[in-house]
Amino acid sequence: MTTEILEDYLDGALDASGVAGVERAVASDAGAAALLTKLRRQRELRAAAFASYMPSASQASDLAARVMAEAHAPVGKIGPLRVRWLSGIAAALVLMAGAFGVGRMTAPETRIPIAMPGDTVTRTEYQVVYIDKAGDMQQHTFNTLEERDSFIAEVETGGNTLVTVAEINPAGHM
């Protein structure tokens, strides 16, 4: 008779034929009977140990009263009124700066050329500055976005460090 079957018997997890089989085995085998007695005693000891951790009714009532008193107690204030106002303003500014930073990091890159009436159309150049494997700063200028993007991919896969990418019109304004 295995311990697992006897545990199932004590848990009431066996069907009628399983219960009858365990009772027959316990009646005919002294070892199985001793093991069943040992398992029952262990369960009794565990139940007594767990019961000793249970608070009495008065202890539970006292704890509940203390918790409720603390929950309804007034909350302390943070310094004088000026400090509380400044703390709130500082928190709002931090939240706005964080939201702005997250927005800048997640926004897609879009470029909208602005031309005023009477302006001449100028050609935009794209400048890429990077540090090559030897540690020297290099600069390349491109006429199209496709050329620039292709070159950036080569720079990044070639083990170089990309420093900056800029749009420049012929007058030098960024």
Radius of gyration of the chain (CA): 39
3-state class of 76 per DSSP? coil
**Cα→Cα distances 29→3, 25, 50, 87, Å:** 14, 6, 32, 77
Per-residue pLDDT band at 110 (split at 50, 70, 90)? low
Q: Is 9 in contact with 19 (CB distance < 8 Å)?
A: yes
**Cα→Cα distances 129→104, 141, 167, Å:** 22, 9, 12
Mean pLDDT check: name the lowest of 7-11, 99-103, 117-121.
Answer: 117-121
Per-residue pLDDT band at 19 (split at 50, 70, 90)? very high
Q: Is the pLDDT of residue 86 over 90?
A: no
Q: Is 168 in contact with 142 (CB distance < 8 Å)?
A: no
Q: What is the pLDDT of residue 148?
A: 85
- Per-residue pLDDT of 30-39, as tens digits, reads 999 999 999 9
So where are the chain's domains? 1-83, 125-168
How much is the mean pLDDT over the chain? 82
Dig out the tokens for 151 from the structure: 């070159």
Length of the chain: 174
